A and B are shown apart, each in its own frame.
Chain A
Amino acid sequence: MLQSVLDWLADPATWQGENGIPNRLLEHGLLTVTATLAAAALGLPLAVWLGHKGRGGTLAINISNVGRAVPTFAVLLLLALGPVGTEYFGAYGRAGLSTLVALVLFALPPIITNTYVGMQGVDRDTVEAARGMGMTSTQLLRSVEVPLALPLILTGLRLAIVQVWATATIAALVAGPGLGRIVTLGFVRQDTGQVVGGALVIAVIALLLEVGMVALQRVLDPVARARRTTAAAAALGSVGSRP
């Protein structure tokens, strides 16, 4: 088994052409980035606003539950047969577009739910104090609520991007673009080396994506960064305002 995987990886054909790893990886990456950015552009402002106003809590939580219950595969098929494309179902373009719509739909729940919960979780006393200092609603949003909610907002984005990566593989079942095609083609050819090798590539990149996002989150999180800076400052002897 291991030998067949190595053989597949060593085969020059694996790395060339439409079904080669580089091309499918590019498709997969483009889909993931585009879908996540689109979902963030749609979901973030909505969830930040809802969280700021303190409205639509049930909606935000339910979106997440519904997203979990709906099978990706079925949504992809419904989209591909329905509004997004009917004639050239197997063709790259149509399937690609319905894949993109499905991925955006699946990236929305983690983004919306986490952002909303993060905004709601901001300490009420802090918000009241900021208001008492004369901050306007916009200032409050920009310099208090969003920075404090950022850890959860970033968690939502991380979940979204990893989920989109995973979901993009299923696009292969409707002849869509992405790395999943390598696995499904391996099934058709009954080539264990290709099936396992392709799956290995997808899984390893998924894990790297998760680890990379966790690291990025740590760098971007202002609360953790402030804590680190304070700690560093304290270590240097210049005592900060906080103990």
Chain B
Amino acid sequence: MAPSSSVLTFVHGTLAGTDAPAVADNCLVRNDWVCGEYLRSRAPQITDALVQHIWITVVSVLLGLLVAFPLALLARRYRRLEGFVVGATTAIYTIPSLALFALLLPFTGLTATTVILGLALYSLTILVRNVIEGLKGVPEDVRESALGMGYGRRRMLLAVEVPLALPTIIAGVRVAAVSTVALTTVGAIVGYGGLGNLLLEAVDSRFKAQVLTAAVLCVALAVAFDLVLVGVQRVLTPWARTRRAG
């Protein structure tokens, strides 16, 4: 049991005037898996970790998308590059997260940048593939109609190709976001792991409530991201809805 339990009992016993057995019944002292007292007393710490987890995930996936897009366009323009781009991003994905963060460390130090760069690199695998596939999936006759209507290359990309590729691209973003939420926890090794920080902190103290809370919040966060992205897709592709309705 936690070595501090006797100290806690003593403090609570004298200050609150309660007898020792009643205090020993506290779920924090018993080190229960589920503990409401933990949620109440550590709410600020939990919120901070959650907020950090969210922004690290969002920034990483956005950065990944920002890099994946030009890479996919390059791969489309120069067919020979496609194999190389897909191969290289897959190779990065095979590097274990702990090793990748450690390898970035000399350049970026113990900062959030280390975690964000690593996670963005991981998200590239799925994002590059889906952007390429999405653009490939745009029907040739649609492209030709747009050309016939006098669309230039840039306008064609932004007004025709990207919107039509959106379902495939967002499917990739969903997978990337969900796995990034899970991988962010390992960022705790450099101090920026969001909920992973709670996990790492609980390793030494064997604090069960903290481990379970962080784990459950992580999974809930992944589900929340997925649902938000489904919503984003619905908003961005209104034609898909009208077609289904009509």
Top 6 A-B pairs ranked by shortest CB distance? Answer: A199-B102, A74-B215, A166-B96, A199-B99, A69-B222, A202-B99
B185 and A71 contacting across the interface, CB-CB below 8 Å: yes
- The answer to whether A203 and B105 have CB atoms under 8 Å apart is no
B214 interface residue per 8 A CB criterion: yes
Asked if A71 and B103 sit within 8 Å, CB to CB, the answer is no
Q: Show 7 residue pairs from A and B whose CB-CB distance is below 8 angstroms, ordered by the A residue.
A: A69-B226, A73-B196, A77-B199, A78-B211, A199-B99, A203-B100, A210-B94
State A165–B222 Cα separation when bound (angstroms).
Answer: 24
| B49 CB to nearest chain A CB (Å) | 13
Judge whether B75 is part of the interface by a CB distance below 8 angstroms: no
- A68 at interface, CB cutoff 8 A: yes
Write the nearest CB–CB distance from B226 to chain A, whole angstroms. 8
User: Among B15-23, B156-164, B175-183, B229-237, which stretch is in contact with chain A?
Assistant: B175-183
Measured between beta carbons, the chain A residues less than 8 angstroms from B222 are: 69
Least CB separation from B31: chain A residue? A81
Between B96, B195, B200, the greatest number of chain A beta carbons within 10 A of the residue's beta carbon is seen for B96
| In the complex, A15 has a CB within 8 A of chain B | no
Q: How far is the CA of A196 from the CA of B185 in the complex (A)?
A: 20
The reply to whether B185 and A73 form a contact with Cβ atoms under 8 Å apart is yes
Is there an interface contact between A69 and B178, defined as CB atoms closer than 8 Å? yes
A81 and B103 contacting across the interface, CB-CB below 8 Å: no
Most buried by A among B33, B101, B199: B199
* CB contact under 8 A between A183 and B102, given known A207-B94, A207-B95, A210-B91: yes
**B98: which of A1, A169, A175, A196 is its contact (CB, 8 Å)?**
A169
Known A74-B215, A173-B188, A209-B94; further 7 A-B contacts with Cβ < 8 A:
A71-B181, A71-B182, A71-B219, A78-B215, A166-B97, A173-B98, A200-B103
Q: Is A48 an interface residue (CB 8 A)?
A: no
Look across to chain A and name the residue whose beta carbon is closest to the beta carbon of B220.
A69
Question: What residues of chain B lie closer than 8 Å to A74, measured between beta carbons?
Answer: 185, 199, 211, 214-215, 218
Q: Which of B59-67, B76-84, B201-209, B238-246 lines the interface with chain A?
A: B201-209
Q: Most B CB atoms within 10 A — which of A74, A180, A186?
A: A74
Size category of the binding interface on chain B = 35 or more
Given contacts A166-B97, A174-B203, contact A68 B175 (CB under 8 A): yes
Who on chain A is nearest to B187 by CB?
Answer: A73
Residues of B within 8 A of A184 (CB): 98, 189
Known pairs A166-B94, A202-B98; A69 contacts B182 (CB<8 A): yes
Asked if B152 is an interface residue, CB under 8 A from chain A, the answer is: no
Question: How far, in angstroms, from A166 to B214 measured CA to CA in the complex?
Answer: 22
Q: How far is the CA of A210 from the CA of B96 in the complex (A)?
A: 12
A89 to B208, CA, bound (A): 12
Interface string of B62-74 (1 = CB under 8 A from A): 0000000000000
Is B103 a contact of A196 with CB atoms below 8 Å? yes
Q: A74-B214, A77-B202 are in contact. Are A170 and B219 (CB under 8 A)?
A: no
Contact of A65 among B91, B103, B106, B178 (CB under 8 A): B178
**Is B223 among interface residues, defined by CB-CB distance under 8 A?**
yes
State the CA gap A75–B94 with chains docked (Å). 20
B215-A170 in contact (CB<8A)? no
Check B185–A172 contact: CB distance below 8 A: no
Please encode chain B, from 10 to 41, with 1 for each CB lying within 8 Å of some chain A CB and 0 for all others.
00000000000000000000000100000000
For residue B212, CB closer than 8 A to chain A, the reply is: yes
Say whether A195 faces chain B, with CB atoms less than 8 Å apart. yes
Are A203's CB and B206's CB within 8 A? no
Q: Does A113 contact B (CB under 8 A)?
A: no
Does the CB pair A69–B94 fall under 8 Å?
A: no
- What residue of chain B has the Cβ atom nearest to residue A183's Cβ? B102
Q: A78-B211, A200-B103 are in contact. Are A70 and B98 (CB under 8 A)?
A: no
A180 to B222, CA, bound (A): 26
Tell yes or no: A108 within 8 A of B by CB.
no
Does B186 count as interface, using CB distance less than 8 angstroms?
yes
State whether B178 touches A73 (Cβ < 8 A).
Answer: no
Query: How far, in angstroms, from A82 to B212 measured CA to CA in the complex?
Result: 10
Residues in A with CB closer than 8 Å to B100 are 199, 203
Q: Is A114 located at the chain interface by the 8 A CB criterion?
A: no
